[in-house]
Structure 1
């Protein structure tokens, strides 16, 4: 029976072995006992086991090896994608790769924010405190993963420029736009004459939500401003040495 357990996935094995244990205990610890009911249930499970084995032997589940984890898995566990020539990566490995790719994109968006703040000679921007997970949260939760204007969901095109370009960047002074929309946005001098009032109200509501979610940033900002270490937050030596050249 132990060999059968290793070779099959019969779902009623636990119950069957429990019945065996109960019968064994009754025979050992009692002088007179009736085990007929237990054996009837055992017989039923044995018949189900026989039918289960025949069904398993008759069915050959298509499978193949994942080129990433090198494990043989059924086709149902492989990721099916559009424009693919063949199926070669299981769902688990595919989604791990997808998450890693998205992390690189969010990191790139954060670098764009920081680069823009350096060009503006802004030494007190929250851009040097937040991390890529914060950028992910701002885009996915605050702006729902798309441009506030065009609703574009192409993550590679999205940016988080300042909303009011005269104020330092912060989670409550940014807007999710595409790269082209960002360039046009920075050309605007009076937003109330360009943007629809409903759109401005929508952006304001998103900023209120951001301020509530990132309320602890204010305390962090004060600490680094007072110690004069702001510019060293999240910056390696290469970036620090190149700072004066910007």
Structure 2
């Protein structure tokens, strides 16, 4: 990647390429690296490649370059003594490994700076690392979602995502529990209820969250483990437009009522009916529900 030229697309769709000073440097180092990795070349060519590598790394004086130069001199000396190539394999691999380290240093290969995630300067690393108290890891600032009005560093993105997934699984379990309890109660009526078995988990989630706001219609209790869905009018089968979300105790009392109009106040009944209308509008978009909606409308007109 360090040897690749910069590319951009023009207005006519043509790709324009441009070599920069840094990309040319990367290309030069890449060619040298490929050359020293080439096997089976004559000794004079190998010597020429090693000398090119030697003068390239000698541009920068450091412990790494000194070690590379020493290894190059050793290989040239051993080749002059007619040492077999199989005995030089370890030495040549060492030269390749050290030169690869050389290539990865931005001071010697500026183009690589944009490809290395960990800063080479330890001081930069210490200044730009934060501690996540959830996973107990030290991470870069980009790994933390920090609101504009926040004064502290909270959990990292991974921990937030994991927490959201866990909460979503827990919420799905609650909705599944409500749906299963509803289906069991409908079976007990023994009046051939069908709609409840057509409703799927996402439908139940929408119904509870968006229509009933995850709370009891009477007490506003929001503990989903204590909430159940029952028929609003127990004379008709359960449907999203004939239901009410209540606590278990409230549901038991509700199902014992004989006359809803006399028991509940008019504003409360109106509010429930509005929720039923919203549910009808939503489930009318589901083809399998359309026939039940028409049947429900006919029953209402007959009454």
Moved over 2 A (4+): 6-10, 53-58, 60-67, 71-78, 216-223
Q: Which runs of 5+ in 2 are unaligned?
A: 1-109, 147-154, 293-303
- The two structures, once aligned, show a CA RMSD in angstroms of 3.4
- Residue 2 of structure 1: CA displacement? 3.0
Aligned pair 1:164/2:233, yes or no? yes
Tell me which residue corresponds to 1:198: 267
Q: Which has the higher contact order (CA 8 A, sep 6+)?
A: 1
**Cα pair 2:216 2:222 within 8 Å, conserved:** yes
Normalised by the length of structure 1, the TM-score is 0.59
Shift in CA distance, 73/132, structure 1 to aligned 2, threshold 3 Å: farther
**Cα pair 1:65 1:73 within 8 Å, conserved:** no
**Cα pair 2:196 2:238 within 8 Å, conserved:** yes
- Residue 72 of structure 1: CA displacement? 9.4
- Residue 222 of structure 1: CA displacement? 5.1
**Cα pair 1:63 1:73 within 8 Å, conserved:** no
* Distance of 1:204 and 1:113 partners within structure 2: 20
**Cα pair 1:61 1:74 within 8 Å, conserved:** no
* Distance of 1:187 and 1:73 partners within structure 2: 59
Shift in CA distance, 58/97, structure 1 to aligned 2, threshold 3 Å: closer
Q: Any residues of structure 2 matched to 1:50-89 within 5 Å, and which?
A: 56-64=124-132, 76=144
Name which of 91, 112, 116 aligns with 1:7. 116
Q: Which runs of 5+ in 1 are unaligned?
A: 11-52, 79-86, 224-246
- Residue 210 of structure 1: CA displacement? 0.9
Aligned pair 1:213/2:282, yes or no? yes
* Distance of 2:252 and 2:287 partners within structure 1: 29
Aligned residues: 170
Normalised by the length of structure 2, the TM-score is 0.49
